[in-house]
């Protein structure tokens, strides 16, 4: 059983064959998919998918690329969307200094506000951080989140910072980049951190692993990430699959909330 911790199936890249793919994913052993919201529109679409497909759960949030357009009332919209039972996290939120589509000061403002929202709702966070490691870490620590911390998605930082995040209760998201030949630093991170704190993700349709690099990514390619982690950790792929499955359930699922939702379906 495989837990897909981060995908964007609302992306237009899946418009032609989304239904067919979703029928096939459970047959490929994909037990759960967390479909990520990146703005108000994709957050709503994630919820619609979660309503339609039992194995899909949603997150709601505004990506740092898009916070330049945020207004105070947008936090109310996120609050209302987060009330739906199958919304399991606030994200994808954070900082991106590589592209800086939104000014740094604006990114920090709305990152703080969305962290506050997650704390208020007792939901974990899905963190995007690109070329902003220190500011991201500092703002997260400043937020003083509760017990349900979250995941640093598509991790690209140092071994030392990964250990700091783990000590604070966070998971580290590992995707297709781990299979790339030039991913030496990320391989060192995976070797250094416990398997109990790793989540696997595709970031579909982006970042397909070798041997499909450059193609559209989907959750059936998680097996390549599992295999690479197994080689690095010196364990079996089955052990990685089971551990990351258990980790995903621990991070994303409030057991009482999920049992309540399942009860409503019976």
Please, is 44 exposed, middle or buried when counting C-beta atoms within 10 Å of its C-beta (0-12, 13-18, 19+)?
middle
Residue 95's pLDDT is what?
98
- State the pLDDT confidence band at 256, using cuts at 50, 70 and 90: low
Residue 69 has pLDDT above 60, yes or no: yes
Cα–Cα distances (Å) from 176 to 82, 206, 218, 221, 232, in that order, read 29, 9, 11, 8, 14
Where are the chain's structural domains? Answer: 2-12+25-265
Please, is 112 exposed, middle or buried when counting C-beta atoms within 10 Å of its C-beta (0-12, 13-18, 19+)?
middle
- State the pLDDT confidence band at 260, using cuts at 50, 70 and 90: low
Residue 100's pLDDT is what?
85
Residue 76's pLDDT is what?
96
120-176 pLDDT, tens digit each: 999 999 999 999 999 999 999 999 998 989 999 999 999 999 999 999 999 999 999
Residue 264 has pLDDT above 80, yes or no: no
Nearest CA to 150 out of 100, 111, 107, 206 is that of 111
Average pLDDT, the chain: 95
Please give the average per-residue pLDDT across 236-256, as a whole number: 92
Residue 246 has pLDDT above 60, yes or no: yes
Residue 59 has pLDDT above 70, yes or no: yes
Residue 213 has pLDDT above 50, yes or no: yes
Residue 258's pLDDT is what?
52
Can you give the pTM of this predicted structure? 0.94
* CA separation for the pair 254, 179 (Å, rounded): 32
- Classify domain 2-12+25-265 by CATH number: 3.20.20.140
Please give the average per-residue pLDDT across 15-38, as a whole number: 97
Query: What is the token pair recorded at 151?
Result: 């995941």
Are 6 and 225 spatial neighbours (Cβ–Cβ below 8 Å)? no
Residue 3 has pLDDT above 70, yes or no: yes
> DSSP letter string over 96-163?
ETTT-SS-HHHHHHHHHHHHHHHHHHT--EEEEEES-HHHHHHHHHHHT--S--EEETT--S-HHHHH
C-beta neighbour count of 74 within 10 angstroms: 17
Please give the average per-residue pLDDT across 190-195, as a whole number: 98
* CA separation for the pair 230, 204 (Å, rounded): 21
* CA separation for the pair 176, 203 (Å, rounded): 8
Please give the average per-residue pLDDT across 217-233, as a whole number: 98
Residue 255's pLDDT is what?
55
Residue 85 has pLDDT above 80, yes or no: yes
Query: What is the token pair recorded at 141?
Result: 């620590």
Residue 148's pLDDT is what?
87
């Amino acid at each position: 059983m495989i837990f897909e911790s981060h995908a964007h199936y609302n992306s237009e890249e899946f418009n032609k064959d989304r239904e067919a793919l979703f029928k096939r994913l459970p047959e490929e052993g994909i037990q759960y998919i967390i479909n990520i919201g990146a703005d108000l529109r994709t957050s709503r679409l994630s919820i619609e998918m979660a309503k339609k497909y039992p194995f899909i759960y949603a997150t709601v949030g505004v990506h740092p690329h898009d916070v330049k357009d945020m207004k105070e009332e947008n936090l109310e919209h996120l609050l209302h969307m987060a009330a739906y039972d199958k919304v399991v996290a606030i994200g994808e939120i954070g900082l991106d200094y590589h592209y800086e589509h939104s000014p740094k000061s604006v990114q920090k403002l709305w990152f703080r506000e969305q962290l506050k929202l997650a704390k208020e709702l007792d939901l974990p966070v899905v963190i995007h951080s690109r070329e902003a490691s220190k500011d991201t870490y500092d703002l997260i620590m400043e937020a003083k989140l509760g017990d349900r911390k979250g995941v640093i998605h598509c991790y690209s930082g140092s071994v030392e910072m990964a250990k700091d995040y783990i000590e604070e209760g966070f998971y580290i998201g590992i995707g297709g980049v781990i299979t790339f030949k030039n991913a030496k630093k990320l391989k060192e991170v995976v070797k250094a951190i416990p398997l109990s704190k790793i989540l696997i993700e595709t970031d579909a349709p982006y970042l397909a692993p070798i041997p499909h690099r450059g193609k559209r990514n989907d959750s059936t390619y998680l097996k390549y990430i599992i295999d690479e982690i197994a080689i690095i950790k010196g364990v079996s792929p089955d052990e990685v699959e089971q551990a990351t499955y258990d980790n995903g359930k621990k991070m994303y699922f409030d057991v009482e909330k999920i049992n309540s939702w399942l009860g409503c379906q019976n």
